[in-house]
Chains A and B, each alone.
Chain A
Amino acid sequence: MSWLRYFKVLVGGAILLLLCVCGVAAPLLAPRDPQAQTLEDRLRPPRWTENGSAAYFLGTDNLGRDMLSRIIYGSRISLMVGAATVIFAGFVGCSLGAIAGYFGRTADDVVSKISEIFLAFPFLLIAIAIMAFLGQGVGNLIMALMLSRWVQYCRVVRGEVLSLKERDFVTAAKALGGRDFYVLFRHVMPNTFASVTVIATFGMAIVIITEASLSFLGLGVPVHIPTWGSMLSEGRSYINRAPWLTIFPGLAIFITVFGINLLGDGLRDIFDPKLRRQR
C-alpha cells in the first residue's frame, strides 16, 4: 500500500504548506489588524450564527478583536517558534550526540551526564523555569524550548552513531586514512538522517503545543503578539458565553499538529528500512 505512505506525506505537507502561506502572507490575508480593539463589538459570534456580523467571519474576542485575523497572525508564531526550535535543537542535539557516540570516553560521559540532567526534568517544567528566569519574548521562548528539546536528538543520534561506528564501512573509511571528523560527518551522520527527520517532525508538533501551553500560562511571547495558546488562555473564562474564543484557536492547533504528525508518520514509513525492503 505504498500510495498510502505518499498520501500521508502529501496531506501533511499540504497542511504545513498552507500554514506557511498563512504565516508569510498574513498581512495580505488578514481582513483586519489583529490588534485593533473595537470594544463596542466585543464577543460577536461567528458570521454564520444568529447574531453574527458580516464584518467578522469568525467573530470577535473579549476585547473586540477580529478572531480570523488573530488566528492567521497566530500561525506566524507557531510556525516560527516550531521551525526555529527544531533547527536549533536539532543542530545542538545532533552535534553533541555525534561527538558523544563517536568519541566515547570523557566526551560521552560529559554529554550523557548533561543530557541526563535535562532529562530528569519534565519537559514543560524546564521550559516554564527558563521562561520565568529569562522573561517574555520570542527569542527567549525559542531558547527555552530548545534547551528542553535538544536532549532527544542527542540521545537518538548518540545511539545510532554508537552502532554505526562499529560497521564495516566505517572501519573501511578509517582504514583508507579518513580523519575522525571526516568519517563522522561524511559517512556516519548521513545514516542518522532518517531518524532525525522523524524526530524533528514529531518534535515540531510537540514544540507547537508547548508554545501554546506556555502562552496559555502567560509565560510565552509578549501579550500583544497574537498566538493560539494565549487566545485559548484568554478565551477560557468565556467558554460558556463565547465558545468560539476557544474553539477556533483550539482547532488551529489541532489541525497544525495533526498535519505535522501525518507528515512525520509518512516520512517514518518511507525511511523505515524494514518497510523499504518490502518494496
Chain B
Amino acid sequence: MGKGKTDISRRNFLKRSALLGAGGLAAPYLSRQSFAATRDRVTIFHSSVADSINPYNHSSSPIYGNWQHVMEPLIELDYDKKDYVGVLAESWQFQGNKWSFKLRKGIKFHNGAPLTSKDVAFSIEKMRDEKGGSLQAPNFKDVTEIQTPDDQTVIFVTKQPLAIFLDRLENRFILSKVAGDKFGDKLYENPIGTGPYKFVSYQRGGNMVFTRNDDYWGGKAAIKEVIFKKVTEDAARLAALESGQADFVNNIPVHEVARLQKHPRVRVDQVEGLRMFFLAFNMTHKPWDNKLVRQAANYSVDAPAIVKNIFDGIGYPCNGPVGANVIGADSKLKRYPYDPQKAKQLLAQAGFPNGCDIQLYYSAGRYPKDREVCQVVAAQMVKGGFRVELISQEWALFWDKQGVNGGRLPFYYIGRGSLTDADTLYDQYFRTGTTKRTNYSNPDLDKLVEEQQKTDVQKKRVAILQQAGKFIMDEALFIPLYNLADIYGVARNVVWKKRPDEKVLGWDMKIK
C-alpha cells in the first residue's frame, strides 16, 4: 500500500504524546470547572434524552421536552388548569369534521422568518413521513386534508368529527419551512424553530446543547445555556449530582431519598407521576364477574399502607378511579376504605363463606418494587377472606395475547403510563371491545365514554368523565392503587416549576 500518512518521527511522536498526556491529566479539572453551577448554565443528566437528530423520531415525553426548547407546538396541556392552552395558536374552533386554528401574529423563527400556516403544514408533512423516520404519523391518521387559506389560519379536515384532536396535537412541534427549503436533507441538522432556545449541538450519547433565544416572543428565559446528557444508570446520575457535575437529574431511587435529603448541595423534589398503578379484574373470569366479590377485593386492599411502607410514603394513593392530576378526576369520589371484615361479609354474601381462591399475576421487575407490592397485596387480601396465589410472568408473556391483552389473566397488577386524561383509561380498559384487558361490557358506560369523546367543551366533557368515574367506582370495576412520584435530584440553587409529565424545561428554571 506504500507509505501511509502516519509517518512521524520519534521526536514528533514524543512531543505529541506529551501533549496528549498533559491534556488527559488536565481534562477532568477543566471539565469540572466547566460544570460548576453558574447562573448561566444548567446541566441536566437524564435517563432519557433524544436518541436521534430527527426531532420526530420518537414519541416519548422527556424527549418532547428536549425538542421543545427549540420548537413549539400549536397548543399544550396546562396541568394547573387541566385544559389546553394556545402556544403558537391563538385560538381554535371545532366544527363538524373541521378543526381550524388561528396562529399568533408576530412570531419569528430563529432565522428571522415569520411563522405562517405554511410552516405548520410543512412540519406536519414531516411528522407524517414515516419513511423519513418519523414515529409521530399515527397522530394524524384521521386527518384527510390540511388547508392553509391564509398565513394565519390552518384547517385540519378529519374523516369524522374528532373531539380529542387537541390531545393528538400536543407535542407536535413546528419547524421553519424556509429552513426546510434552504437545507433540504440537512434540515434536521439545522433545526430552526420558534422556541425559547436555539439549537447548538447534538451528539448521540453525548451532550445536547441549547442556547437562549434572546428574541423569544414569550419573554427571555433566565438561563443562558441548557445542556442535556443521557445517563441511564441510576447510580451514575446520582454520583454526578452529588459531585456537582450535574445540576439536575431524574429518577432518584426511593431508597436513596432519605440519604440525599441530608446532602448540603442537593435537594430532592418529587412530583406526582402520570403513571397510575392498579389491580385489574378480567370480568369474564370467575369470581370477578360478581360485583360483590370485586367490592370485597376493593375493601381488602389497603393502598395507603402500601405507599407508606413500601415506598416510604413517596407516592399518592388514588381517591377514586384516577389520580388527582388527571383530567376527569373527581374530588368528591373516595376509594373503598380498608375493611377486611366488610370484605369477608361481602364474600359470604356472594356465596364464598369459606373464602375464595384467586391468582394474582404480575411481571416481576417491570415496575418499582412490584414483587414487594404484590406480596403485601396478597397478605392484605388474605385478611379479607381471599386465598391468593402469586404468579409472576415474563413481561412479553404477561402483556401479549397469552396474557393481559388476550384476556387470559383474571387478576393482575399493572401501571398505565402518561395518563393525563381519564378517557384513555376508561376507553382502554372498560369500554366494550377496545381491548380484552378486562373484557367489561356495559352499554351505559359505553354511552358515557362515547359521549365525552364527541364533546368539545372541556367542562362538559369533564363532567361526563366524572359521571363515568362514579359508575366505575360503584361497580368496583378495578382496584385503583396509587400514582408514584417522579423524583428529581436538584442542586439547591436551582429553582424550577415542577411538572408531572417528565419534561425538563430550561426556561422553567432559574439559578439563584
CB pair A39 B259 closer than 8 Å: no
CB neighbours (8 Å) of A36 from chain B are: 379
Report how many residues on chain B are interfacial, defined by Cβ distance under 8 Å: 22
Question: DSSP class of A's interface residues: helix, strand, loop or mixed?
Answer: loop
Interface string of A44-60 (1 = CB under 8 A from B): 00000000000000000
Which A-chain residue is minimally distant from B369 (CB atoms)?
A237
A52 to chain B, nearest CB (A): 20
Question: What is the CB-to-nearest-CB distance from B368 to chain A, in angstroms, rounded to a whole number?
Answer: 10
Bound-state CA distance A42–B389 (Å) is 23
- Of A35, A42, A132, A135, the residue contacting B379 (CB under 8 A) is A35
Stretch at the interface among B100-108, B168-176, B390-398: B390-398
B239-260 CB contacts (< 8 Å) to partner A: 253, 255, 258-259
Complex: how many Å from CA A218 to CA B394?
A: 10
Most chain A CB within a 10 A radius of its CB, from B258, B310, B378, B379: B379
Given A237-B255, A240-B259, A241-B255, also A223-B392 (CB < 8 A): yes
Question: Which residues of the partner chain B approach A135 to less than 8 Å between Cβ atoms?
Answer: 391, 393
Q: Does B342 contact A (CB under 8 A)?
A: no
Residues of A contacting B392 with CB < 8 Å? 136, 218, 222-223
Bound Cα distance A233, B247 (Å):
32
A-side contacts of B365, CB under 8 Å: 218
Residues of chain A within 8 A of B375, CB atoms compared: 37, 63, 223-224
Q: Does A238 contact B (CB under 8 A)?
A: yes
Q: Which residues of B contact A42 (CB under 8 A)?
A: 309
Please indicate the chain B residues that have their CB under 8 angstroms from the CB of A223 in the complex. 364, 371, 374-375, 390, 392
A238→B390 contact, CB < 8 A: no
Given contacts A135-B393, A223-B371, contact A237 B259 (CB under 8 A): no
The answer to whether B371 touches A218 (Cβ under 8 A) is yes
Q: Does B509 contact A (CB under 8 A)?
A: no
Smallest CB separation, B364 vs chain A (Å): 4
Q: Residues of A contacting B379 with CB < 8 Å?
A: 35-37, 63
Sample of 13 A–B contacts (CB below 8 Å)? A37-B376, A39-B305, A39-B309, A62-B372, A63-B372, A135-B393, A136-B391, A222-B389, A223-B364, A223-B374, A224-B375, A240-B255, A240-B259
Chain A residues within 8 Å of B, Cβ to Cβ: 35-37, 39, 42, 62-64, 132, 135-136, 218, 222-224, 234, 237-238, 240-241
User: Could you list which residues of chain B lie within 8 angstroms of chain A, going by C-beta atoms?
Assistant: 253, 255, 258-259, 305, 309-310, 364-365, 371-372, 374-376, 378-379, 389-394
Nearest 9 A-B pairs (CB), nearest first? Answer: A218-B364, A39-B309, A37-B379, A223-B390, A132-B394, A237-B255, A224-B390, A223-B371, A218-B365
